[in-house]
Structure 1
Amino acid sequence: MGFLVVGLPLPIAGSAIHTMYSVKTPPAAVWSVAFDMGVLVASVVVAAALYIVLVLALDWSDDAMFGGCVVHVVTGIGLFVTATVMDAEILPQLTQAGRFVVKYLGPL
């Protein structure tokens, strides 16, 4: 379950970015770039913190920790890109989470 939680911040960030740019009148360019960078950095920090806690709880060796990190980075990038370009009706829960981030923490 912990590995699934570690993978959630990046797709939520991608969904938030997709939601922000899919409205009729998107925010100003400066605000949208600042939001994009902020949400991406915040999601990476949250995912990294969750991953470190999970690795410490499982007491992995250095090789296993490096391998798991590589898998999570590649998977995270793939999920971020997928959530950024996918249609909103495919995963409504992810779209709702992204809409929440944009509405209450972002420019909409």
Structure 2
Amino acid sequence: MSQQLLIAFVTFAFVMAFTPGPNNIMLLSSGVTYGFRRTVPHIMGVSFGFAFMVGAVGFGLATVFINYPVLQQVLKYLGAAYLIYLAVAIAMSGATKPEESRG
């Protein structure tokens, strides 16, 4: 990896870590609702997930998708189905009881 590319990547990662995106908004909401201690697993999941995504891209996952375009389509539809499942589960869950919200 060239030095110029590495600097661009580190700058991107730094900016993305501190700008309000969907993960940071979820963590904010979780922290306010459930407190810091119960939000720590969520924080760790976001951190490890981002690191995994960056690692997969860095190790050439795009090459796999270029060689096997069907795999990309399958993952795209499975991901969409999972997001729909999560949306339905959240919509059907109801309100959090006050005694469950603080821990």
Give the TM-score of the pair, scaled to structure 1.
0.44
- Structure with greater proportional helix content: 2
Give the TM-score of the pair, scaled to structure 2.
0.45
Which is bigger in relative contact order (C-alpha 8 A, separation at least 6)?
1
